[in-house]
């Protein structure tokens, strides 16, 4: 009876040791799987963040290019307006100059003074 009892006792001890060993192996595997999953999640989030940053950078570059293009168009419009205004002023000056040349004496001097006053204003 004691031999049977010892055999059962050792059998139970071996089963407990195997259970503890199995639990240890499962625990280690579970921790590694969890670490792997965390690493994959972290890398996925970093990749998404990188994509978002690249998209934001592309959008900023496009917006800046659009702003530069609008400024260029605005500058061209202002230059064309300035050129037209300059031509108008020059034609007025030429017309006035011809009128002054047709005058003589005091009238010519007075006309020149008026031209200078207009230019100063």
The residues, ordered by sequence, that sit 6+ positions from 93 with a Cβ below 8 Å of its Cβ are 115
Q: Where are the alpha helices (DSSP H) in 2-105?
A: 2-102
The token pair at 46 is 């970093």
Q: How far is CA 50 from CA 39, 46, 57, 58, 62, in A?
A: 16, 6, 10, 12, 18
Q: Which residue has the tokens 């031209």?
A: 115
Residue % of the chain over a pLDDT of 90: 50
The token pair at 104 is 């003589």
Residue % of the chain over a pLDDT of 70: 92
- Residue range 45-74, pLDDT digits in tens: 999 999 999 999 999 999 999 999 999 999
């Amino acid at each position: 009876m004691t031999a049977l009892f010892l055999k059962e006792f050792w059998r139970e001890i071996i089963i407990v040791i195997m259970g503890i060993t199995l639990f240890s192996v499962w625990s280690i595997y579970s921790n590694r799987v969890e670490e792997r999953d965390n690493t994959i999640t972290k890398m996925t989030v970093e990749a998404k963040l990188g994509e978002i940053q690249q998209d934001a950078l592309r959008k900023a570059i496009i917006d800046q290019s659009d702003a530069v293009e609008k400024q260029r168009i605005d500058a061209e419009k202002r230059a064309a307006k300035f050129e037209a205004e300059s031509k108008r002023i020059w034609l007025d000056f030429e017309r006035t100059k011809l009128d002054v040349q047709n005058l003589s004496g005091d009238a010519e001097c007075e006309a020149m003074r008026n031209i200078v006053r207009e230019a100063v204003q």
